[in-house]
Chains A and B, each alone.
Chain A
Amino acid sequence: MPLKLLLQLSHRNLFRHKRRNFMLLLAIVVAVSGVTVMNSLIRGFQYDMQDAAVSNLTGHVKILAPGYLDDPSIEKSFRLAKDWQPDIDPKQLEGWAARIRIPAVIMSERETRGVQFVGVDPTQEGISFLGSAAYRGERLQSAADRRVVIGQALAEQLNTDVGRRLVLITQGADGLNREAGFRIAGTYDTDGNGLEKVFVFTGVERLQSMVDAEVVTEVSIKLVGAPEEFSIKASLSAFFTDLDVLDWQELEPQAAAMFVFADAAIFIWFLIMMGALIFGLVNTLITAVMERVREFGMLRAVGMRPSAVVLQVVLESTLIMAVGVALGLFGGWLFILWIGEGINLARWAEGVDMFGMRSLLVPRLLIQDMLLVAGMSLFFGFFASLYPAWRAVKIKPLEALRR
């Protein structure tokens, strides 16, 4: 097969109808750029949602007492040896935190609310939103800190502020109610205000003393990066035989389902865009073939094999698709660079919060997505060219020459 000759012919034929092929190329570039940008935004949404779910005191893997998820109370707690460390390769471990997390009622002078009261060691909380939130006033200083930090939104609901006192009521290990006063060290401000209204933090030792038990209700472990497989679950389960070891997908099933849905959305979006594009491609190729009926007839008459005619049409389609895909990916990449800081969704903050996302949607361009777009586009381009190629080869040389 004279591939070099066919490439030469295909290449020159693309410049034969400059305006038409330019429009087709433009359509491919816009479609591929659009798919690339949209994919990166969906990925941004997907990973932001995962990150939010993991940072929401969840971690990638969590150790809990059996039944805690159904009844999150002090009774569903466990003792953790003071010198315990997770047996994980330090390169894979971002951090871990042991906490007590129990329901409580919080009261200011004016308002009362139900909250999650969480005892933490602030030195371990770099793995949760507590480590990255903005603060007014002070952060908790140690596991023995006797003050509380509350969300800015809760402070507004309770009509209170930094430095003032609050009363928290919760159930102790003996089943009796415990009540204590706490001074507000500071208020934290997260991206959405859902977390701010729910979580109240104090030192873990202070809360253990309040409930009168040296126990924790959870150990969160955060790994480096965004792994999808958690091999450490098995080793942790083997160590904590009487506890539940769950990953974030089990703990946040809605977020996990949305994560899977985002993968499908990328593919569906790609199919819709490419489907529309393929019609244009097929139409243009058929026009190009029908315009050159005589030429194809002559090529066959002078001895070009039918398979070479097919290859020529396929090469023309593949060439324009390859150039379009390369320019489209580049264009998409440039656009993503332009919006690299992210798109501010603050206007839709409540809806965004419902999905567990932050208000800034940062695009995330993955090499695997670019390869998928490039590979699938060329694949579709190839199949789109088969019908016009079949039309070209069905042309009888004699009939073509008579036209």
Chain B
Amino acid sequence: MSGAIVVRCRGVTRTYQDDAVPVRALRGVDFTVDKGDFVSLAGPSGSGKSTLLNVIGGLDRPDSGEVEVDGVQLNDLSESELSDLRLSKMGFVFQAYNLIPVLSALENVEFIMQLQGVEAVERTERARAALSALGIGELEHRRPGELSGGQQQRVAVARAIVTEPVLLLADEPSANLDSTTTTELLKLLRTLNETRGVTIVAATHDPLVMGFAKRQVNLHDGMIAEDSANAVPD
């Protein structure tokens, strides 16, 4: 599975102004993710893990350094080009699910495929298959407000994977879930990683998430402090 590099960061720096006080969130990070990897970005608050995830996802721009995703340099892309790149190559799982409240679970999963212009019949078929694979096929007509937190996060995962992205980015995916639901979700991500070869990068401070990743990268004060392989859990 591994070999091709999906993410490459070279000397990435990012400084924020927090109440006029500069905060150096990333201080020259060099980082690569191979295809098929499952990486957890760990570290205390303010260590720069979310910033690194956002820079990789094109949601934030580095002050200096280069970011490359699946061979595409992000630095010089316009907002629209970044949108297109996220649409075609990335899947996102957010901490707060961020489903569209006026769409049903099925429509939420279909949403990105609609943006991609996938035909209606194929779209619905793939969305149903994704929801079924995540064990919530019977909830397809419910809107987010009618689903529990765990169910919403599964819909968010289904939305993120249904387009078979090159890279799945997850920001604190377990933050609003109990441990049982978190374990179920992580097993699911792991299965996706192993069976479909989805490359996953998750920013987290949850040891449970770190334990499920194949590789753990610890950040401290905007720099990579440790980068190690994990033992694969059962």
CA distance A2 to B86 in the complex (A): 16
User: Which among A5, A16, A401 is the interface contact of B115 at CB below 8 angstroms?
Assistant: A5
Which stretch of B2-10, B32-40, B76-84, B174-182 is in the interface?
B76-84
Which residue of the partner chain B has the closest CB to A4? Answer: B114
Number of B interface residues at 8 Å Cβ cutoff, please give it.
26
Task: Kindly state whether residue B73 has any CB partner on chain A within 8 Å.
Answer: no
A237 close to chain B: CB less than 8 A = no
| Main DSSP-derived SS at the A contact region | helix
**Can you list, as one digit per residue, whether each of B65-101 has a CB less than 8 Å from chain A (1) or not (0)?**
0000000000000011001101110101010101011
Asked if A306 is at the interface of the complex by the 8 Å CB criterion, the answer is yes
- Cross-chain contact B103 with A306 (CB below 8 angstroms): no
**Is B60 an interface residue when CB atoms closer than 8 A count as contact?**
yes
Q: Are B115 and A304 in contact (CB under 8 A)?
A: yes
Is B57 interfacial (CB 8 A cutoff)?
Answer: yes
Closest to B60 in A: A398
Contact mask A285-316 → B, CB, 8 Å, 1/0? 00000000011001111111111100000000
Q: Which of A9, A307, A401 contacts B98 (CB 8 A)?
A: A401
Checking B86, B96, B103 against A303 with a beta-carbon cut-off of 8 angstroms, the contacting residue is B86
Chain B 101-138, CB within 8 Å of chain A: the 1/0 string? 11100000001101101000000000000000000000
* CB atoms of A298 and B94 under 8 A apart: yes
Does A397 count as interface, using CB distance less than 8 angstroms?
A: yes
Residue contact A16 to B86, C-beta cutoff 8 Å: no
Q: List chain B residues, Cβ under 8 A from A295.
A: 98, 100-101
Name B80's contact: one of A2, A5, A305 (CB within 8 Å). A305
Closest CB in chain B relative to A310 CB, distance in Å: 12
Residues of A within 8 A of B59 (CB): 301, 397-398, 401
Q: Which residues of B contact A4 (CB under 8 A)?
A: 114
Over the window 35-70 of chain B, the binary record of Cβ atoms lying under 8 Å from chain A Cβ atoms (1 yes, 0 no) is 000000000000000000010010110000000000
Alpha-carbon separation in the docked complex, A12 to B103 (Å):
8
Q: Are B102 and A401 in contact (CB under 8 A)?
A: no
Given the contacts A306-B80, A401-B98, A5 and B111 also touching, CB distance less than 8 Å = yes
Q: Which residues of A contact B57 (CB under 8 A)?
A: 301
Docked CA distance A298–B98 (Å): 6
Q: Is A13 an interface residue (CB 8 A)?
A: yes
**B98 contacts A305, CB within 8 Å?**
no
* CB-nearest residue of chain B to A5: B114
Known: A2-B114, A2-B115, A5-B114. A303 touches B98 (CB 8 A): no
With both chains docked as a complex, state the minimum distance between the C-beta of A401 and any C-beta of chain B, in angstroms: 6
Residue of A whose beta carbon sits closest to that of B80: A305
- For A393, the closest partner residue in chain B by CB is B79
Are B83 and A306 in contact (CB-based, < 8 A)? yes
Q: What residues of chain B lie closer than 8 Å to A298, measured between beta carbons?
A: 94, 98, 100
Bound CA–CA A277/B100 (angstroms)? 30
Q: Is there contact, CB below 8 Å, between A294 and B98?
A: yes
Quick check: B117 and A9 within 8 Å, CB to CB?
A: no
Chain B neighbourhood of A308, CB < 8 A = 115
Which chain B residue lies CB-closest to A15?
B102
Contact A300 B83 (CB under 8 A): yes
**By the criterion CB–CB under 8 Å, are A305 and B83 in contact?**
yes
Beta-carbon nearest neighbor of B160 in chain A: A302
By the criterion CB–CB under 8 Å, are B112 and A302 in contact? Answer: yes
**16 interchain pairs (CB within 8 A)?**
A12-B103, A16-B101, A294-B98, A301-B94, A301-B98, A302-B86, A302-B111, A302-B115, A302-B159, A303-B84, A304-B83, A305-B83, A398-B59, A398-B60, A401-B94, A401-B96
Residues of A that sit less than 8 Å from B by CB: 2, 4-5, 9, 12-13, 15-16, 294-295, 298-308, 397-398, 401
B residues with a Cβ closer than 8 A to A are 54, 57, 59-60, 79-80, 83-84, 86-88, 90, 92, 94, 96, 98, 100-103, 111-112, 114-115, 117, 159
